[in-house]
């Protein structure tokens, strides 16, 4: 038992700090979302993604604390990433859409309710932003058609804001 006292103390500190860090990150995201008038459901999605990243980071810390040799850890992680890389190669767009969704949350100039134009040379269209989700954004065209537009495409195609919904008109 005495042999592992440092690991036990470090683990206890880590276990105590996990909820504290999650709370701080959540508060910062919610404060930002309130300041920039983001929708609550979208804010919850971003908080969930950050919680997953925090959990992964702390899992790696636990592994290091309990004395896994960094070289062995590197070999294990590279093997895991190789398998994940092969498995996820077909799903790369999924990861890029999640990343784009987070970037849109923090930097987007358009919001739910705005009327936008997608500047695609092959198929340009105008639509109202119905909802911004983790993987895609729902757009409603003039004809009433709902288009699920991948978030990563917002960084590949130009977007023009035709009409910004006034904050007094929103239910956010």
Q: What is the pLDDT of residue 127?
A: 92
Helix 92-107, helix 70-88: angle, nearest 10? 100
Torsion angle in degrees (nearest 10) through CA of 64, 70, 23, 25: 170
CA distance linking residue 63 with residue 134, whole number of Å:
30
The tokens describing 96, both together, are: 């890029």
Please list the pLDDT of the chain residue by residue as tens digits (172 residues). Answer: 778 888 889 999 999 999 999 999 999 999 998 888 888 888 888 899 899 989 988 988 888 888 777 677 677 777 777 766 666 555 567 778 888 888 888 887 788 888 999 888 888 889 999 988 888 899 999 898 999 998 888 888 888 888 766 544 444 4
3-state SS, residue 167: helix
This prediction has a pTM of: 0.60
CB 115 within 8 A of CB 161: yes
Helix locations, the chain, DSSP H: 5-35, 40-65, 70-88, 92-107
Q: What is the pLDDT of residue 51?
A: 93
């Amino acid at each position: 038992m005495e042999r592992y006292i440092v690991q036990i103390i470090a683990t206890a500190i880590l276990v105590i700090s996990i909820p504290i860090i999650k709370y701080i990150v959540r508060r910062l995201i919610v404060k930002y979302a309130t300041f920039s008038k983001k929708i609550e459901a979208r804010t919850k999605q971003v908080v969930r993604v950050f919680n997953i990243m925090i959990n992964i980071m702390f899992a790696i810390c636990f592994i290091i604390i309990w004395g896994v040799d960094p070289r062995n850890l590197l070999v294990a992680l590279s093997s895991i990433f190789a398998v994940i890389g092969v498995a996820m190669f077909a799903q790369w767009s999924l990861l890029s859409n999640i990343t784009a969704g987070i970037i849109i949350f923090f930097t987007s100039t358009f919001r739910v309710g705005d009327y936008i134009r997608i500047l695609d040379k092959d198929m340009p269209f105008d639509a109202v932003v119905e909802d911004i989700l983790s993987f895609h954004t729902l757009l409603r065209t003039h004809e009433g058609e709902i288009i699920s537009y991948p978030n990563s495409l917002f960084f590949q195609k130009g977007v023009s804001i035709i009409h910004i919904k006034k904050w007094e008109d929103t239910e956010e």
